[in-house]
Amino acid sequence: MSSNSSVEICCGSEACRHFWKIIQDIAHALKRPHGFNFQSPREIFDELRIASKGGIADYSGITYEKIEKQYGVFWPCPSDEHPGTPRLFEPRSWNAVAKGNGPFYFPDGKARFNAAKYSPPAEDADAEYPLLLTTGRVISHFLSGTQTRRIGPLVDQCPDPFIEVHSPGPCSKTWTQGGRLGYSGLPAWYDHPPGSCGENDSAGYDFYSLSLGREGKR
């Protein structure tokens, strides 16, 4: 589990408690207090500095003072003198594997390319089924819509899953029944959610949104 030590759980102004204190109380209640006896977030961070030293995400050179002075420090930061690494894999960037030989996670610092043999799809478009289905998230659901869906204004922007047909030709063969988009060339198992004809450069594709509907159903 990871959490931001500055985040608080509040049940009222008198009862705010930090996550790290709650986790420690749980550990003590389970009779497992070892390693859960910190007195401040700074002590926890210093433990992280020690535990991560020499690893890929090296925090050992990051201190509260450096964070405040630089307005943030990016790992890896392997020493007090190191400024941090804002962008991984840039020339002259450091990591614990290459140790200065190059920016990538190999002893010589060089990247590796692996060629993959092409495999065609198990099913492709044809005269009988001319559309390809792709799925994705709509922008208003990008995170909350695939998790809790508790942010009302975002839910209202796109309350239900939908399908969009991006081809004027196949769209001419569609019909709408009770707000649902049907297509005469689709297999019998194909679900017919609310839909429309899309107008963009993705001709020949159906787009189906992944997000859950109001009733928690796809």
| Cα separation values, 34 from 22, 27, 30, 41, 74, Å | 15, 8, 11, 17, 30
Three-state DSSP state, 48: helix
The residue written with tokens 């550990």 in the block is 27
Three-state DSSP state, 163: strand
pLDDT value at residue 12: 44
pLDDT value at residue 106: 94
Three-state DSSP state, 64: helix
pLDDT value at residue 26: 95
pTM of the model: 0.52
pLDDT value at residue 138: 78
pLDDT value at residue 133: 80
pLDDT value at residue 180: 46
Q: Where does 132-209 sit in CATH, by number?
A: 2.40.40.20
Cis peptide preceding 76, ω within 30 of 0: yes
pLDDT value at residue 182: 47
10-residue mean pLDDT profile of the chain (218 residues): values are: 38 68 94 91 92 92 92 91 90 87 93 91 80 79 66 78 64 43 44 50 68 51
Whether the CA torsion 144, 149, 153, 159 is positive or negative: it is: positive
pLDDT value at residue 135: 82
Extents of the domains making up the chain? 1-37, 39-112, 132-209
| Cα separation values, 130 from 177, 183, 185, 196, Å | 21, 11, 8, 17
pLDDT value at residue 11: 42
